[in-house]
Amino acid sequence: MTKRIVVTGTDTGIGKTVFSAGLAGLLDGFYWKPVQSGLDEETDSEVVARLSGLPAGRVLPEVYRLRMPLSPHRSAEIDGVSIEAADLSVPAVPGPLIIEGAGGVMVPLNRRTRFIDIFAQWQLPVILCARTALGTINHTLLSIEALRARSIPLIGIAFIGEEVAETQSTIVEFGGMPQLGRLPHLNPLTGETLRDAMVAGFDPTLIAGGD
Ligand SMILES: Nc1ncnc2c1ncn2[C@@H]1O[C@H](COP(=O)(O)OP(=O)(O)OP(=O)(O)O)[C@@H](O)[C@H]1O
Ligand SMILES: C[C@H](N)[C@H](N)CCCCCC(=O)O
Ligand SMILES: [Mg+2]
């Protein structure tokens, strides 16, 4: 049973947090966002606490909380903080842990280290979130290639958006990575609609079935 899963994506703002909230709820697990950049709006951890249906203690505290909604390396510099890879060791929790990065895989944490370098150190299995809309084939295949080049274990792709079957199958064929499911755009987006969409769209044993 996979206990610790990294959720990354092809870009910022594509729905990783909403998917992570749904997944943490589906697996009755925990959620951890190690680096949060942007504190004026609702943070990712707050969104997950609101949407996942999990008790408050299942959302673990961030290690770095940076004020500006920018790439973490820049946000940290503005706050006068240095993000240290050594501080990002994965917490032990008594259940499945969903770990969310920030933005896409190449996003820098400082002038030397990107998220993908931390993922390579962790060697935890990764779910890649990808939009279904035009432009996603390029972003998704590049992300898969970068993850593979570092021998990072891959679980599969979680598509987000309306079904575009041809695009999705093209990504699966070229990427050689399975489609785990699809989370549609939800309106309204509530804890209840998210839970129902996750149950309808994803098989938890396919996701958490092997480590
Ligand atoms: N399935 C969905 N249905 C409805 N709205 C969604 C869905 N997924 C994402 N959104 C909305 O899109 C916006 C961006 O989503 P989200 O915060 O999950 O992106 P992200 O990939 O986690 O971004 P970041 O890189 O900042 O962590 C939010 O306003 C969110 O509510
Ligand atoms: C602020 C934003 N919501 C994310 N937390 C960080 C996204 C970083 C993206 C950097 C980039 O790829 O240009
Ligand atoms: Mg997010």
Do 130 and 159 meet the contact criterion of CB atoms below 8 Å apart? yes
9 lines ligand 2 (CB under 6 A): no
ipTM above 0.95, yes or no: yes
Region 16-38: mean pLDDT is 98
Q: Give the mutation target among 6, 18, 162, 182 for probing the ligand 1 site: most ligand atoms within 8 A of CB.
A: 18
Which residues have CB under 6 Å of ligand 1?
9, 12-18, 44, 102-103, 160, 183, 185-186, 189
**CATH number, position 109:** 3.40.50.300
State the pLDDT at residue 209: 78
b/e 138-163 (16+ beta carbons within 10 angstroms → b)? ebbbebbebbeeeebbbbbbbbbbee
pLDDT in tens, 143-200: 999 999 999 999 999 999 999 999 999 999 999 999 999 999 999 999 999 999 999 9
Q: DSSP secondary structure string, 66-123?
A: ESSSS-HHHHHHHHT----GGG-PPPP-SS-EEEE-SSSTT-BSSSS-BHHHHHHHHT
Residue nearest atom 8 in ligand 1 by C-alpha distance? 15
C-alpha of residue 47 to centroid of ligand 2, in Å = 17
Average pLDDT, the chain: 96
Catalytic hit among 4, 31, 33, 64 = 33
pLDDT in tens, 50-91: 999 999 999 999 999 999 999 999 999 999 999 999 999 999
Q: Residue 210 above 50 pLDDT?
A: no
State the pLDDT at residue 2: 55
Domain count, the chain: 1
State the pLDDT at residue 14: 98
Q: Residue 1 above 60 pLDDT?
A: no
Q: Residue 124 above 50 pLDDT?
A: yes
Do 39 and 1 meet the contact criterion of CB atoms below 8 Å apart? no
Q: Where are the alpha helices (DSSP H) in 150-203?
A: 165-175, 191-201
3 in active site: no
Which structural domain range is residue 189 located in? 4-208
